[in-house]
Amino acid sequence: MLLKNKKVAIIGGGPAGLTLARLLQLHAVDVQVFERDLNQDARVQGSPLDLHEDSGLKALQHAGLIEQFKQHFMPKADRKKIMNAQAEVFLSDHDDLLERKFGDPDFRPEIDRGALRKILLDSLLPDTVQWNHQFISMQKQANGWRLHFKNNTTFYADLVIAADGANSKVRPYLTDIRAFYSGITMLEGYISNIKQTAPQIDQLLNGGKIMAFGHQKNLLMGQKADDEIGFYASFKAEESWSTAHQAIFLDRIKTKQWFKCFYSEWDAIWDNLFEHASLPLIPRPIYCMPLDQTWRTQANLTLIGDAAHLMPPFAGEGVNVAMLDALNLSEYLSSDHFSTLQQAIGSYEQEMRPRAAKMAEYSLANGERMHAINALQNMLNFFQSH
């Protein structure tokens, strides 16, 4: 096998990096994951993920982890309501009699990020993940790389795989192509103990998700584990908006004033989100990699997930594409059809780039539909057609 007696370093312990580590260990590959977090409980793990049959779930199936996933996913958290700014429901599947199940092509079960991370971590050999290892730099050594970390440690790897996300520090060693701003910014927030702190929002959600559209703005929210919800205010803005307004969202009064002004046409029920959210709220400008990006294949370095093909979140494809990257790359690297690592990596990259570009193009288009003047009707037409 191409990776026999070789050391593989995966930079980044998110879903893609951990999935790849698990798949490579099933082929007895010597792999280490380097993660900047102090430990697995160091920070909140973001909004839930909906995994798809032909990508995220497929990767877990090949990793031998689908039964563990079934034990930890959140039943009915994929149910949705499409609403307007006045909190009127225009479409809901909460009362559907047909129960979606695994194997259905349209079933997209939701799982909390922390739960998925634990499933993947528990599947790895002891000490596979090296915590508190923030990547600083690397330099070529022999046929591989000498990696340097902020904690003053170093590591030699024959093959480095960047899974370190949107702001990848490894990507520049392969390409200088950068992401472009999509024109959309999202303001991210969380509410804990939702049943007590914001019962009106809890009743609206009913354990599922809400997509509310009006006046070229969105409010998007969904149930998380442990009686918590995550939400996003999403809107068109200049690229500099996040930096200019970031200080507002450290202060409760200023945050509520901003929402009442910026979402002035929206019903007062939505005020509950900003009244009870944990501060600070996080402005997130949404970026995307160029759809036609390419680079020269190297024999000892490649990319997966957002590090390779950052895309907007408006189609729910990001983590699914990333986990499929992990699956496909593991299969290329363990295949007997290639005589060199460069050939295997090149074949993976040639397959990955157009696949990811197609999803990114779809996500960009969906983002435009969701922020158009007629966004509500656009999304009703989309979901009703499906």
Q: Which residues are annotated as a binding site?
A: 43, 50, 113, 306
What single string gives the DSSP state of each residue in 221-267? EEE-STT-EEEEEEEE--TTHHHHHGGGGGSHHHHHHHHHHHTTTS-
- State which amino acid sits at residue 273: L
Burial of 20 (0-12, 13-18, 19+ CB in 10 A): buried
**Cβ-contact 143, 133 below 8 angstroms:** no
CA distance 200 to 313: 27
> Going edge to edge, which strands form the sheet with 30-34?
129-130, 30-34, 7-11, 159-162, 301-303
Q: Which residues are annotated as a binding site for NADPH?
A: 43
CA distance 1 to 336: 7
Q: Which residues are annotated as a binding site for FAD?
A: 50, 113, 306
> Going edge to edge, which strands form the sheet with 209-214?
89-92, 80-84, 209-214, 217-223, 229-236, 180-191, 282-288
Measured CA to CA in angstroms, residue 320 lies from 15, 24, 256, 274 at distances of: 9, 18, 35, 30
**Cβ-contact 320, 56 below 8 angstroms:** yes
Q: Which residue has the tokens 């923030």?
A: 134
Residue 280: is the preceding peptide bond cis (ω within 30°)?
yes
Q: Provide the token pair at 301.
A: 């370095």
3-state SS class at 346: helix
β pairing state of 282-288 and 180-191: antiparallel
| CA-based nearest residue to 357, from 296, 289, 307, 287 | 289
Q: Which residue has the tokens 């995994």?
A: 51
